[in-house]
Amino acid sequence: MKPKVYFPAVFALLASAAGLPALAAVNRTDLLGDPAPSAAAMRTITIDENTKYVNVKGGEVVKFVAGDKAA
CA angle 40, 45, 46 (to 5 degrees): 130
Task: Report the alpha-carbon distance of residue 71 to residue 57 in Å, rounded.
Answer: 17
**What was the pLDDT predicted at 5?**
65
Tell me how far CA of residue 34 lies from CA of 1, 60, 70, in angstroms.
Answer: 57, 11, 15
Tell me how far CA of residue 61 lies from CA of 7, 55, 56, 66, in angstroms.
Answer: 55, 12, 8, 17
**What was the pLDDT predicted at 8?**
76
What are the pLDDT digits (tens) for 4-56? 667 777 777 777 766 666 656 566 666 677 888 889 999 999 999 999 999 99
CA angle 56, 42, 71 (to 5 degrees): 70
**What was the pLDDT predicted at 36?**
87
What are the pLDDT digits (tens) for 53-71? 999 988 899 999 999 888 7
**What was the pLDDT predicted at 43?**
94
